[in-house]
Amino acid sequence: MANIENRKFIALDISGKNYLSWVLDVKLHLSAKKLRHTIEKDNAASNEERATALIFLRYHIDDGLKYEYLTVENPLELWQNLNDRFEHLKAVVLPKALSD
């Protein structure tokens, strides 16, 4: 868990322009830290695991997004909120892949 607070990749831009690469980076890093389950539905994460994952997620999002989601205290809820906000970008960035 040491150094989990250090930024490992570019933070999610408030416009979402780097959302797809950000999602992949977050999943990889949380997997490496054995915390990926904290952003999956019906997980049994401990309070400590949730807190650590939330710190990690918040550190890797734009300050405007941090402020907007200030009251979110669960990494799964933050993950879903960001997904709801930016998932539509997949259709813009990957139209051919989605039509296959």
**Tens digit of pLDDT for each residue in 34-67?**
999 999 999 999 999 999 999 999 999 999 999 9
Which residue type, as a one-letter code, is found at position 90?
K
Identify the domain containing residue 64 by its residue range: 18-92
86 compared with 91, residue with greater pLDDT: 86
In a domain, 3, yes or no: no
Tally of domains in the chain = 1
Report residue 89: phi and psi, to 5°: -65, -20
- Least Cα distance to 16 among 98, 100, 97, 81 occurs for 81
In a domain, 54, yes or no: yes
93 compared with 1, residue with greater pLDDT: 93
In a domain, 12, yes or no: no
In a domain, 100, yes or no: no
In a domain, 30, yes or no: yes
